[in-house]
Chains A and B, each alone.
Chain A
């Protein structure tokens, strides 16, 4: 009887685990779509907003190929920019947002409502390269950040057109039908931002906007050196919050929403959580702003890796030193070479740490013995559970 209950318990556990996988936080990939919709020099801050968010999500682990960055204008190379090829979001100029490693996917006049909706719904022309596509699936968590000039139920694109809140809602609905997301976080920093997410109806969407209907979203401060305002308030305080965030942080969405101070923003944030299944105090910020996956270590793979490590311990030879020499003709210091040489201890230690906690125990036994013992134990338990009148029964 006991064995039957054991089996049932196992089954229930397995079922529970499965159920959790479909509803819980177990997304398998993260995407970020960051959109700056306004052009012209005086809208410098919108580009700085977007680039700041880009930097943040990248720092928190979303790889570049999973970030779609849309910038309606190129402030870095604007002739009015006193700091060519640099964009700052603070007047202290300590952080150049437009460094060497920025990958803009949609630039300038490519940022249109049509392209944006095509990107969301995945209805591209065949010629559109992969880097410009949102290749998400039903296990993707998507962060959508938009900034620009908005109004009641619309967001202006490029001074020429606008996207209506209904368009956005319908695009999300289509994404939901096409299983293009698991959860979607929409963050909008515009005037009257709340109106933009008022029409949403697709499940799994959480939306937050910087201002209510009839309210403006204000810029944070003027950089008198560059001659423009460099960041918006909502984004500024968002960034301030994220600057203290680590990739392993357990900070939740709830705590982010609580940090916005209407007095500092000069506007009231508004969010919609009615379409969102999880309670906000259980949603990690890194579920959207980072790419933190749950990694399960399986025993077998670890063992195989351990075996590999045992057999192929790396012994650097004299020839290898040449490889570590800098290509430029600098006199090679013996000490530096020694540093560069990976010692066997270092190599093993490094690999042990990767392989995990089993490694240290297993190293002390012979592998066949361990397998044998484990196999025997497994067989005994199997037989005991299948055959009720086993002689082993206690």
Chain B
């Protein structure tokens, strides 16, 4: 092939294949294409609410609302009287935990359920909570974390105690179960907690009389002294992994705690413990669904009783869409309750969202002139609301922390959500009855399901409760954003002015196809080109490899340092020092390695060295983002939004300077490199924290302690945000800085 190409005697070159020509055209116009790809990606994100489809119940078996709810007025009375009794008990007793537990055990036993208590302590690797702008009460700062986790698990006596009741389904085999969770905090027990537990009891006793149960009902009342999540997670852990090693010690510990907490006031409780084996951890079948609910006092919004739904699990894992659909359809169509997705209040007030919505509306007005039937835009207010919902959900997913105790279920691949019912102070009974019927309806529908939730989407965003954006739609903007990275990388490797011969064309084509596979490209290039190029490739690979290794080390250092027992501030300083030092080491090693390489360095190769570094950086970043999109999509989306302009726009300052002073001036080119430079500086390891501080400094209490605690909690919750920042963003930003500051040879081309 090379021979035919170099053959000068042929006056007419053989026509390249269509794919080759396409590749050549792509590379020829790569700047325009990547610019439009990026813009199209951003626009695609903005029109996501318009692409959302109506939700529908996909699973036939669910039949939501097909059965009449048996929850009646007497059950409502039971809920209210129980709440009143609980409040009375709590006010009489000093030890709230004991009073509530005793009451729960007695009431659960009275309904004929299997009842037991689950004492636990905060595990050594306690999941500390964190606060971010939308802290909604699910999370509490746990600054005393270090002191609590001081001792080993065995040495620590359990300090919290959850109460569990199980209704065995009368006609079923008992191999499946539904878990209802009503959290209460003994340290913060008041009217709402009593109401939640009262409703829990009313529902539980109603379900204990249901003949239609095909799944066991487990009522878990977690002691949320350390937060709801750790309590539920702890119970689930023991449910699925019985502690085999220390059974006897565990048992003794449990009994000790039980005696301590329950039998202080007489013989009867002692008998209760002994006779009913309250300490035995009893199980039902495979947990198919989890439903966390709590009742909150509040005002009716717009004359409608509302339920707030939290669904985001760890790293943005969502429960099956059918679950939300069932909850929604029963609420709306049977009980005339309104569901509300939790949104961040700040986002709704963003004025630019409304502006964008109005722009779309105007565009639609114009298009309607041409084709009257074509209507795509939402009303600006709806658009802003949907976008706020979408962004809030994305934000929760980016943080990577579950938005409630349902996240603990997600770790076991159990679909769960948290519902918060708003109970007005007036007309309480009426709303309580609605809530009871709604919950019973949801449970009956879930009970109809045959296996796990499987029919509907797991990968989706909700822009409203009846509007979903499936994975097939939301991957398009991401694809558009990331597409320009491999294209640019290919263009950098094979500049078009050299792409005259067929040889290069073939390579171009192959590089386009394999553009994300840098290694393959390198080998191909080594084979095709001379030794000069391979030298600069090797140099670039060593550099990028060194920076990537450094980034991994930085992540590892964070993990190691977080295990030490010092103050957060010291840890942060420690880590920063280690990271800075190791960066120096990485660059030294890189210099040493490249210096020891013996190859003939031509001027041409040296001139182009930054382009090769940039090409490799682009390739690596594209791969990283693609991988991240499978782990936590919103993180990868925000990564693409921030990293792509930086990667594409970065040029050495010298290069930009020369370009600006060269004869061929182009406003677009100057603007592009200016934007690239500014963006690179803004996203750099120093620029980004400064940027965040300047924008959100007044909202968040940013100090070194909080930053470190936040990072540590991300680590403990296994949030994908931390690896993204440390392993994808950090090396990319450092490499871009390197490119920005890299020196060109003194002579002009």
Contacts and interface: CB of A to CB of B under 8 A. Distances in A.
Asked whether A and B interact, the reply is yes
B214 interface: yes
Interface string A15-48: 0000000000000000000000000111000000
Given A42-B61, A227-B63, A228-B66, A79 B169 contact: yes
A262 interface: no
A352 interface: no
B214 A80 contact: yes
Contact of A84 (B60, B68, B169, B171): B171
Interface stretch (A137-145, A218-226, A250-258): A218-226
Interface in A74-114: 77-84
Contacts of A40: 61, 450
Contacts of B61: 40-42
A225 B67 contact: yes
Interface string B578-620: 0000000000000000000000000000000000000000000
Contacts of A225: 67-68
A222 B66 contact: yes
Contact of B212 (A42, A82, A222): A82
Nearest to A84: B171
Interface string B66-107: 111000000000000000000000000000000000000000
Contact of A224 (B66, B210, B213): B66
Given A40-B61, A41-B448, A42-B60, A81 B171 contact: yes
Interface in B187-217: 210-214
B410 interface: no
B363 interface: no
Contact of B447 (A77, A80, A83, A224): A80
Instruction: Determine which residue in A80, A81, A224, A227 has the highest number of CB atoms from chain B within 10 A of its CB, and name it.
Output: A80
Looking at A40, A41, A78, A226, which has the most chain B CB atoms within 10 Å of its CB?
Answer: A41
A79 B67 contact: no
A224 B66 CA distance: 6
A227 B170 CA distance: 17
A292 B63 CA distance: 43
B68 to A, nearest CB: 4
Which among B67, B68, B169, B214 has the greatest number of chain A C-beta atoms within 10 A? Answer: B67
A363 B61 CA distance: 69
B214 A79 contact: yes
B444 interface: yes
Contacts of B299: none
A42 B448 contact: yes
B214 A228 contact: no
A281 B236 CA distance: 68
Interface string B162-177: 0000000111110000
A80 B448 contact: yes
Contact of B211 (A41, A84, A229): A84
A227 B450 contact: no
Interface in B288-304: none
Size class of the A contact interface (CB-based, 8 Å): 10 to 19
Nearest to B59: A42
Nearest to B169: A79
A226 B214 CA distance: 13
Nearest to B214: A79
B67 A224 contact: yes
Contact of B450 (A41, A83, A224): A41
Contacts of B172: 79
A96 to B, nearest CB: 16
A81 B66 contact: no
A254 to B, nearest CB: 36
A79 B60 contact: no
B100 to A, nearest CB: 33
Nearest to B60: A42
Contacts of A82: 210-212
Contact of B171 (A79, A222, A228, A229): A79
Interface in B426-456: 444, 447-448, 450
A41 to B, nearest CB: 6
The CB with the most chain A CB atoms within 10 A, among B66, B169, B173, B444, is that of: B66
B171 A227 contact: no
B715 to A, nearest CB: 44
A228 B63 CA distance: 8
Nearest to B69: A224
B213 A79 contact: yes
B63 A226 contact: no
Contacts of A80: 212-214, 447-448
Contacts of B60: 42
A227 B67 contact: yes
A227 B448 contact: yes
B168 to A, nearest CB: 11
A226 B171 contact: no
A226 B448 contact: no
Contacts of B210: 82
Contacts of B444: 227
Interface string A277-319: 0000000000000000000000000000000000000000000
A80 B169 CA distance: 9
B63 A81 contact: no
B436 to A, nearest CB: 17
A389 B38 CA distance: 121
Contacts of B67: 224-228
Contacts of A77: 171
A82 B209 CA distance: 11
Contacts of A222: 66
A85 to B, nearest CB: 10
Interface string B143-183: 00000000000000000000000000111110000000000
A66 to B, nearest CB: 33
Nearest to B444: A227
Nearest to B67: A227
Contacts of A226: 67
A77 B211 CA distance: 12
A42 B450 CA distance: 10
A42 B170 CA distance: 19
Contacts of B213: 79-80
Interface string B449-467: 0100000000000000000
A260 B60 CA distance: 28
B214 A42 contact: no
Contacts of B170: 79
Contacts of B66: 222, 224, 227-229
Nearest to B450: A40
Nearest to A222: B66
A298 to B, nearest CB: 56
Interface string B324-355: 00000000000000000000000000000000
A81 to B, nearest CB: 7
A388 B723 CA distance: 122
Nearest to B63: A42
A82 B538 CA distance: 73
17 contacts: A40-B61, A41-B61, A42-B63, A42-B448, A78-B171, A78-B214, A79-B172, A79-B212, A79-B214, A80-B212, A81-B171, A224-B67, A224-B68, A226-B67, A227-B67, A227-B68, A228-B63
Interface of A: 40-42, 77-84, 222, 224-229
Interface of B: 60-61, 63, 66-68, 169-173, 210-214, 444, 447-448, 450
Given A41-B61, A80-B213, 9 more contacts: A78-B214, A79-B170, A80-B212, A80-B448, A82-B210, A82-B211, A225-B68, A227-B68, A228-B67
Closest 10 CB pairs of A and B: A227-B67, A79-B172, A79-B214, A79-B171, A224-B68, A82-B212, A42-B61, A80-B214, A82-B211, A227-B66
